[in-house]
Amino acid sequence: MNPLLSSATLPLFDQILPEHVESAIETLLTGASNALETVTAADFPAHWESIARELDVATEKLGIAWGAVSHLNSVADTPELRAAYNAALPAVTEFWTRLGADERLYAKYKAIDVHTLNAEQLQAHKNAMRNFVLGGAELAGAQRDRFAEIQEQQAALSQKFSENTLDATDAFSYYATAEEMLGVPDDVQKTALAAAQTEGKAGYKLTLKMPCYLPVMQFAQSSDLRAALYRAYVTRGSDQADAATLKFDNTQGIHNILALRQEEAALLGYPNFGALSLVPKMASSPEVVISFLRDLAQKARPFAEQDLADLRNFAHEHLKLTDPQPWDWPFVGEKLKEDRYAFSEQEVKQYFTLPKVMAGLFKIAETLFDLSISRDHAPVWNANVEFYRIERSGPQGTQLIGQFYLDPTARSGKRGGAWMDDVRARWLRPDTAELQTPVAHLVCNFADGVEVDGKKQPALLSHDNVTTLFHEFGHGLHHMLTQVNEHDVSGISGVEWDAVELPSQFMENFCWEWNVLRHMTAHVQTGVPLPRALFDKMLTARNFQSGLQTLRQIELSLFDMLLHTTHKPGDDFMPLLRQVRNEVAVMLPPDWSRTAHTFSHIFAGGYAAGYYSYKWAEVLSADAYAAFEETAGPDGLPNLETGRKYRQAILEAGGSRPAMESFKAFRGREPTLDALLRHQGMAT
């Protein structure tokens, strides 16, 4: 039996092999295509449930199977799986494009009597009508054919961009000497030494994966070592990379992607891709976004300039660096932080073991949102992956709310970064009348635990890692706690892209609450909790370099939006990036830096002309969290009634109504910038 065709309730990740992909996807594509023909027949009723029972059931089977293949391609990449994925990608893309542009199906949806729909179905229908137009359903003849070609070419180019980024990252290795490794944290040294020994090589194997790269940049005393890693990192996937990895250059791919996006926008009647991208988002136009970003940049700039001045003065006075280079800044920043606040990231890291952090994360979610979270069983793709279930007790007994996979650690063949993805959505199924509960993936790339005296320690997380985990879990809660029964607007489905970061960024705030944080710490050797004095130092340092960090996000966001509005595809995009940096940034990288060439969010991750959404949603999330600050008890613990209101207004509503309506249902008003500026130490 092909595991991708199994009727099991969860994907059989431990059985799926590359040779299963072609036949399973062909079978499921045939089934979905047949369902499309059935519902578009003249005598098939234009009825919401009837269409869902036939078509949505078939397309969900395809979506879950292809989602499993795509997921494995991201977390367990092999040459064989990559080949199987790429072989099936054109046919899958062609089907979804054809479905979204089918004028017969569009006509059937138009003919549905909207008065027969409930509120959730009405929102899903409204979204569907918009998506048909954006999917090319009103195009005809050569334009329709060209639109389909564009979708297929874009899918292939995005996949290639992602592959090049992963391969360029994996291809780099540097074998450092013990002298070069001076200052690098012990756990990083142990991992690097073991990696070199496994290959039978001398020294310490360094890579460009974040659990290795970042601590080397922060702590290695050797400026030459930092320079070597920095150059390799910022030139990945570009024309500036070393000769051995030039084959992973993404330059032409970026040009091709931008040209196709512009052509797609023109076919659909929009002046540029930025305008097209914003149709389903909260922001009303590119001009509104650009104005928002420039306004925020103006407010943040004085703080960023002070951050840079502090770094320069410290480098000169304490480190004898009169002309710090880009690869020196992380090192200088860490030394300044240690000097100013009398603690280091490495000191903090010893208190955050992954199991203890997970227990603390679960405790706050359970308390605030009236849940219980426990280990569960499911087939997984790697021994480090864990599976959990979320339940709630009620009058009818214990009810399953949702389930999730947690894949926390970095490894070869796994895409960098952190993300949440859905396995399946909550849905009152039209074929069985049973309620399907949602399932999510939570993926991070933390350093794995190291061997100490023959015993493996648990993974140690930096406070930034802890924040990342809370962020992704916030996305997961948004997907899993929904109480919406309509597939296309339950959980994260149907939520405007620039509001989807609200629940994730909201959860980050708890990483700065003593009464939450103290429950998730235990020193890796002694088991002693994080001392309050050390936490107070962390809190004082919370907004360290927040001005620089804000401008960095605005730089990327503004570049993304201008790239998809004013930039002419085909022209060199590097001058635009320099122009944006000259306008926004106070810390400029070298001319040979090629950040855009691995900007996977916008070239392979769905954030094209939408990267601004991180800052946009930060306004929403900070204001939402301010409600908890305003109602906290004398002990500083969150008010449970506020938690219930947030859960019901934001998390449970999912995409069943516009995000602004959900926000106003919680806050009673529209959001303001005040809380964000206050949280980031930039209030005037």
User: 283 and 498 in contact (C-beta within 8 Å)?
Assistant: yes
Q: Are residues 48 and 100 in the same domain?
A: yes
CA dist 145 and 427 (Å) reads 33
- Tell whether the model's pLDDT for residue 441 goes beyond 90: yes
405 token code pair? 């996979």
DSSP state of 52: I
CA dist 178 and 175 (Å) reads 10
> Rounded to the nearest 10 degrees, what angle do helices 210-219 and 186-198 cross at?
130
Q: Are residues 371 and 475 in the same domain?
A: yes
Which of 488, 517, 542 is the last residue before a domain boundary? 542
Q: Are residues 509 and 372 in the same domain?
A: yes
- Tell whether the model's pLDDT for residue 603 goes beyond 80: yes
Which of 215, 293, 286 is CA-nearest to residue 557? 293
CA dist 577 and 595 (Å) reads 9
Which of 301, 309, 350 is CA-nearest to residue 332? 309
What are φ and ψ of residue 87, in 5° steps? -70, -35
Report which secondary-structure segment, H or E, holds 401: strand 397-409
Is 622 part of any domain? yes
- Tell whether the model's pLDDT for residue 524 goes beyond 90: yes
Q: Are residues 459 and 579 in the same domain?
A: no
99 token code pair? 């479905």
Which of 539, 492, 540, 517 is CA-nearest to residue 656? 492
Q: Where does 403-512 have alpha helices with state H?
A: 463-480, 502-508
Question: 323 burial class (0-12, 13-18, 19+ CB within 10 angstroms)?
Answer: exposed
The CATH number of the domain holding residue 7 is: 1.10.1370.40
Q: Is 345 in the active site?
A: no
CA dist 560 and 609 (Å) reads 6
User: 450 and 421 in contact (C-beta within 8 Å)?
Assistant: no
119-159: pLDDT as tens digits = 999 999 999 999 999 999 999 999 999 999 999 999 999 99
Q: Are residues 514 and 388 in the same domain?
A: yes
Which of 502, 522, 542 is the last residue before a domain boundary? 542
DSSP state of 375: E
Place 663 in a pLDDT band, splitting at 50, 70 and 90. Answer: very high
Looking at residue 465, its amino acid is N
The CATH number of the domain holding residue 314 is: 1.10.1370.10
User: Which of 264, 345, 472, 496 is an active site residue?
Assistant: 472
Residues in the chain: 684
The whole domain housing 17 covers 3-159
321-371: pLDDT as tens digits = 999 999 999 999 999 999 999 999 999 999 999 999 999 999 999 999 999
Is 240 part of any domain? yes
Is 222 part of any domain? yes
Side-chain-side CA neighbours of residue 220 (13 Å): 27
Query: Residue 174: helix, strand or coil by DSSP?
Result: strand
Mean pLDDT of 315-326: 96
Q: Are residues 121 and 215 in the same domain?
A: no
> Rounded to the nearest 10 degrees, what angle do helices 286-318 and 329-341 cross at?
70
Which of 68, 47, 62 is CA-nearest to residue 421? 68
Is 329 part of any domain? no
Which of 542, 571, 598 is the last residue before a domain boundary? 542
User: 112 and 125 in contact (C-beta within 8 Å)?
Assistant: yes
Is 151 part of any domain? yes
Q: Where does 199-328 have alpha helices with state H?
A: 210-219, 223-234, 251-267, 273-277, 286-318
Instruction: Give the pLDDT score at 394.
Output: 84
User: 39 and 55 in contact (C-beta within 8 Å)?
Assistant: yes
Q: Are residues 372 and 281 in the same domain?
A: no
Tell how far CA 655 is from the center of its chain: 18
E runs forming strands in 450-595: 451-452, 455-456
Place 266 in a pLDDT band, splitting at 50, 70 and 90. Answer: very high
Break the chain down into helix, strand, coil percent, rounded to 5: 60, 10, 35
528-570: pLDDT as tens digits = 999 999 999 999 999 999 999 999 999 999 999 999 999 999 9
Query: Residue 368: helix, strand or coil by DSSP?
Result: helix
Place 396 in a pLDDT band, splitting at 50, 70 and 90. Answer: confident
Q: Are residues 9 and 65 in the same domain?
A: yes
Q: What is the mean pLDDT of the chain?
A: 96
* The pairing of beta strand 397-409 with beta strand 386-394: antiparallel
Instruction: Give the pLDDT score at 684.
Output: 67
Is 334 part of any domain? no
Number of domains into which the chain is organized:
4
Instruction: Give the pLDDT score at 455.
Output: 87
Q: Are residues 378 and 312 in the same domain?
A: no
CA dist 334 and 544 (Å) reads 10
CA dist 430 and 485 (Å) reads 10
How wide is the angle at C-alpha 18 spanned by C-alphas 15 and 23, nearest 5°?
95
- Tell whether the model's pLDDT for residue 514 goes beyond 90: yes
Which of 618, 631, 594 is CA-nearest to residue 248? 594
Query: Residue 421: helix, strand or coil by DSSP?
Result: strand
Q: Are residues 19 and 119 in the same domain?
A: yes
Is 336 part of any domain? no
Mean pLDDT of 376-399: 95
Other C-beta atoms lying within 10 Å of the C-beta of residue 412: 12
80 token code pair? 């064989």
Other C-beta atoms lying within 10 Å of the C-beta of residue 533: 9
Mean pLDDT of 28-33: 98
User: 585 and 552 in contact (C-beta within 8 Å)?
Assistant: yes
Instruction: Give the pLDDT score at 454.
Output: 83
Looking at residue 537, its amino acid is K
Q: Are residues 375 and 460 in the same domain?
A: yes
CA dist 116 and 242 (Å) reads 62
Is 482 part of any domain? yes
Instruction: Give the pLDDT score at 5.
Output: 98
Q: Are residues 186 and 214 in the same domain?
A: yes
Tell how far CA 25 is from the center of its chain: 26
Tell how far CA 411 is from the center of its chain: 18
